[in-house]
Structure 1
């Protein structure tokens, strides 16, 4: 059931972004699904926001869909698995499967009822931020894991120094430090690999350049001079900034050699020349220049914090969330890492973490003041625990931002917390990762208490500012209205359900075998889309002759041009039925099929509606299995299936019992009327 849940959520997302064919690549970070879109006009932002499970949507160069920690990883895996690629790999331009076509058609239907995504002007800095995001986000789980281990090792080491632990704990602390160092000591190599992958170069070559910055094998008294000042280069000089710059240049050098070296010797000379040229360029050009940039950047930030103090902390805490909204926060990742490499900690992260704490305070104020708004309270209850732990997106996109003013007052709370942390000075984190209380073990120099005081100040600031000035009157009583087109469409569908005068009792719909043959469970069909019930539940039959009959009393809704599939709608129970003749038989262009009904015809269960040439289908290498699927399973309470056995065409083999439908049921047939199974399956 869990896999079905994430698969369905992924399908809903595909349906509102133009399908897999409109995706260039996707990957997940801590709380978001990040998708590079090919054609922005096919994206239905309102439809995405209306999906159950989506906490928020951010429109930028990379489409960001907030799902929450844990869920996003499973949904991302589900979505890439359907296409046959890995996260961050390029999607094929012609994804040929049922679900791709279903998503494409549903996306087109949604475009009629929703606003198109506003086009953002492409700028060099937006592209640069997108690259930085793609390089570092895959490393965040490693930063969190190794950082926490390093934090635990630091606490234990302090306890050993204070003689609170016996001396034999030294070995354990050493081992923990060694495990954490496996990331931080060789971080340049990991960054080099990811950078090469992002810019289309060979990842291993990027890793080598990252290793070159560490100057392996250069041991005193041997040195390499810095051309800027003549002093010896230090291992790691230029750090992360140097690796990013060098590997970016490497990507162009490698591509140039691929284009100009003969294919027969490309595999030999391209990597050899690329490594040689870029190794020398990195040592004698990149490292000196990047080292100067790095020193200036770190020194400048420290100067601002030392001189500006609480004022600088307030400004940073106040504006960090707007930076997140614009995607500008990504530029801070290499800066954090550079400060950690040079100073052992980053003083920026604890200050910026206060922005999330301000959200927590604002959410608590809303909870207190809007107790009668049950929907809002439910959202807060779900988002608050992870917000306290440092995952703020559910609170931002699900609670404060939609209400407007609470987002602003939460930012004020973040500014207050940032001012408090900056006033203490020397409060830094030894690794990047989570914020909130989860960051406490990563605070350096035993300054965790100052960080905690900052958190409490941000909670209080966000609470007070929101309680007195940030609660909209519309949020105090009842539920907050959402005027998006998707919600308006849903309300119209509810009204349509009332007018349909739906029955208030369960209805049993009998399904007959459409062909004679061997009954087969749908789970055994050799097509994941059907066997995993992505399109709905039903049954399959391996036919022994070519006569096809109607499985139910119904009206023909559509017949595919390739005659391999048709859709029906039952009057009894209002079920949408897909009949699918064979697997991948769309490629046969209708040759083996003769269908003698057309859209609008009424058919009776057991009446002949066509024929199929089994020998021709098998000769073409296709499976002739006949599938009968209920496409709108939201109408079905449960089904009853016969055991696998030989059946005759017209014999009852399957029963569906519909749900009770009332005026408040939002999963009405009106919605499926607009999106019947008709054109969902054109590709097969």
Structure 2
């Protein structure tokens, strides 16, 4: 940080903000971030995510890549991450994939609730009763078994077997325990209740399970690993979950939900104002992710989360501030055009365009927008019992999810947030320079507006392709870092995984085309049929010296292949007799097209089994 001129950096045209955390984050306009990152990487000769090596411009590109790999490995080993930041990243990875399910099931539940009320009020005929029941049943498919979904995602995130994580989530429901049979709480002797500990218990249980499973994978012989590892893992963690985690997590979740309800009840509008005021700064710091399991725990305990409607007011404050800017800065055509584009989605609860494109770059409007969110939060908290039956949307899109027919209170809070953000911004939050037309703005302001105009015209539409890559050979899968070869362990040839083979049959990991087959037959490359992934399959370490003797390749360059189709064979015994390691490496060599990649399996895998997920541009 001592090498950064922070004041000058923040003044650069197009820089919307600078965040000082574990890394230095520079917030740029829409589309500019990708453009700038690409140019920087190309000029330095490194791939995205790698550390820039010293004096890179004086070295050849190959030397730069080698040096970058070394520096990256050293930096990764020495990098100190705060425990809470890592925890928040895990929580986000667990729950973000479930958000579409929350939204879909929540809206169906909301529709069922509205129809049920209409049926009670005799506004619908009795024949609608079955339809309402079916809708309620569909929505319950998520919420009734939510612990299992969370257990599966948690296992994936921590490198455990997803099915085992789902079992821990299912154990919390105490299946098969029907009165008069009970299981006592070892701490107070009272019977355990189905679901006790909820989401918090599942997160804790599956996190511990990941360590137990990895321990057994490491210490149990490969020949019996598939039998004893899952058996012992489920047995140990099942008993521990029932007798220790459920009682403790149940006490903690009850205390947490009770404390939040107490704060909202006693603090009332004051608590609502503080929560609504501070939520957007929490989002910018990444702290909002910890709220997801709290929302879900409250939904499981009391049927709704009273926090979400209050926090959603922060987006309402942004909408009010944007409208005030539109009126007072109407001569600033560029700003008005940005507001026109961002305002509709802001009303529906998508606040990022307004935050990063409008209020945050101007400074004061962001603060006055937060004040508007606090006012809306105070109004919602004043009524009490305004809660959401699901998480996901905010803004106007949250109205159908408001429980107990309190949607009107939520709407009043939203209108108050609009009004609060508008008034605070109109009178105190509009910078003078923002009200000037383009031809009267100072040169610096004019240049910044031009940069923002160019940025807003960039096409932000990207096509993300998500695909799972299958194991090219049966055996024990491991991270690439464990391979005893610096070229692969330091990922100089891309990122991927390695498999210690148990047999010599090599199959295609995905649909695609064979690009090249090495003359020594120890490696081949493919191009995926979708996502433009360049795949390298490398059989053994230093096996190029064997001049193809242990290998048979049955495909040709240019040939189209399907996933699971045999590509060739390798004689593992001959490779070992030659003193070589037969480990098979599979890497994606063009990592510049990759947005995210993740290993899905651990331990023993079979050829053709999905083991690696890649999201590509």
Give the TM-score taking structure 2 as reference length.
0.62
Aligned position for 2:176: 217
CA separation in 2, counterparts of 1:621 and 1:276? 49
| 2:373 is the alignment partner of 1:373 | no
Aligned position for 2:485: none
Structure 1 residues 259 and 487: CA distance shift in structure 2, 3 A: farther
User: Of residues 310, 314, 325 in structure 2, which corresponds to 1:351?
Assistant: 310
* Residue pair 1:61, 1:130 contacting (<8 A) in 2 also: no
* Residue pair 1:57, 1:66 contacting (<8 A) in 2 also: no
CA separation in 2, counterparts of 1:205 and 1:228? 26
CA separation in 2, counterparts of 1:196 and 1:106? 28
Q: How does 1:538-617 map to 2 (within 5 A)?
A: none
CA separation in 1, counterparts of 2:16 and 2:557? 42
| 2:153 is the alignment partner of 1:153 | no
Residues 262-312 of structure 1 deviation map (CA, whole Å, 9 limit, x = unaligned): 111111110110000000000000000000000000000000000000000
Structure 1 residues 452 and 488: CA distance shift in structure 2, 3 A: closer
User: Of residues 249, 258, 274 in structure 1, which corresponds to 2:208?
Assistant: 249
Aligned position for 1:186: 145
Aligned position for 1:329: 288
Aligned position for 2:525: none
CA separation in 1, counterparts of 2:418 and 2:315? 9
Residues 150-188 of structure 1 deviation map (CA, whole Å, 9 limit, x = unaligned): 001001111111111111111111011011000000000
CA separation in 1, counterparts of 2:113 and 2:252? 30
CA separation in 2, counterparts of 1:206 and 1:252? 12
Q: How far is 1:375 from its partner?
A: 1.4
Judge which range, 429-438 or 286-295, deviates more.
429-438
Residues 298-352 of structure 1 deviation map (CA, whole Å, 9 limit, x = unaligned): 0000000000000000000000000001011111111100111010011111100
* Residue pair 2:46, 2:52 contacting (<8 A) in 1 also: no
CA separation in 1, counterparts of 2:200 and 2:236? 19
Cα RMSD for the two superposed structures: 4.1
Structure 1 residues 481 and 125: CA distance shift in structure 2, 3 A: farther
Aligned position for 1:307: 266
CA separation in 1, counterparts of 2:227 and 2:91? 31
* Residue pair 1:359, 1:414 contacting (<8 A) in 2 also: yes
Q: How far is 1:377 from its partner?
A: 1.1
Q: How far is 1:59 from its partner?
A: 7.8
Aligned position for 1:447: 406
CA separation in 1, counterparts of 2:430 and 2:262? 38
| 2:369 is the alignment partner of 1:410 | yes
Q: How far is 1:229 from its partner?
A: 1.2
CA separation in 2, counterparts of 1:387 and 1:328? 21
CA separation in 2, counterparts of 1:429 and 1:147? 9
User: Of residues 194, 197, 202 in structure 2, which corresponds to 1:238?
Assistant: 197
Q: How far is 1:489 from its partner?
A: 13
Q: How far is 1:379 from its partner?
A: 1.1
CA separation in 1, counterparts of 2:332 and 2:185? 65
CA separation in 2, counterparts of 1:146 and 1:204? 23
Residues 456-479 of structure 1 deviation map (CA, whole Å, 9 limit, x = unaligned): 000000000001111111211145
Aligned position for 1:420: 379
Aligned position for 1:463: 422
Residues 599-619 of structure 1 deviation map (CA, whole Å, 9 limit, x = unaligned): xxxxxxxxxxxxxxxxxxxxx
Q: How far is 1:136 from its partner?
A: 0.5
| 2:95 is the alignment partner of 1:136 | yes
Residues 563-605 of structure 1 deviation map (CA, whole Å, 9 limit, x = unaligned): xxxxxxxxxxxxxxxxxxx9769999xxxxxxxxxxxxxxxxx
- After the TM superposition, which parts of structure 1 deviate over 4 Å for at least 4 consecutive aligned residues? 54-68, 100-109, 479-484, 486-491, 582-588, 620-623
Q: How far is 1:378 from its partner?
A: 1.3
* Residue pair 1:61, 1:127 contacting (<8 A) in 2 also: no
Structure 1 residues 482 and 287: CA distance shift in structure 2, 3 A: farther
| 2:346 is the alignment partner of 1:387 | yes
Paired positions, count: 424
Where 2:122 maps in the other structure, the secondary structure is: coil
Aligned position for 1:615: none
CA separation in 2, counterparts of 1:255 and 1:171? 48
CA separation in 1, counterparts of 2:395 and 2:303? 20
Give the TM-score taking structure 1 as reference length.
0.56
- Please identify the structure whose Cα radius of gyration is greater: 1
Q: How far is 1:57 from its partner?
A: 9.4
CA separation in 2, counterparts of 1:419 and 1:105? 43
Aligned position for 1:298: 257
Q: How far is 1:394 from its partner?
A: 1.1
* Residue pair 1:56, 1:398 contacting (<8 A) in 2 also: no
| 2:166 is the alignment partner of 1:204 | no
CA separation in 1, counterparts of 2:160 and 2:175? 23
CA separation in 2, counterparts of 1:249 and 1:133? 18
CA separation in 2, counterparts of 1:406 and 1:334? 31
CA separation in 1, counterparts of 2:220 and 2:242? 25
Which runs of 5 or more residues in structure 1 are unaligned?
1-40, 76-97, 113-118, 494-527, 529-581, 589-619, 624-679
Q: How far is 1:122 from its partner?
A: 2.1
Aligned position for 1:342: 301
CA separation in 2, counterparts of 1:587 and 1:477? 68
Where 1:139 maps in the other structure, the secondary structure is: helix
Aligned position for 1:264: 223
User: Of residues 135, 140, 165 in structure 2, which corresponds to 1:176?
Assistant: 135
| 2:239 is the alignment partner of 1:280 | yes
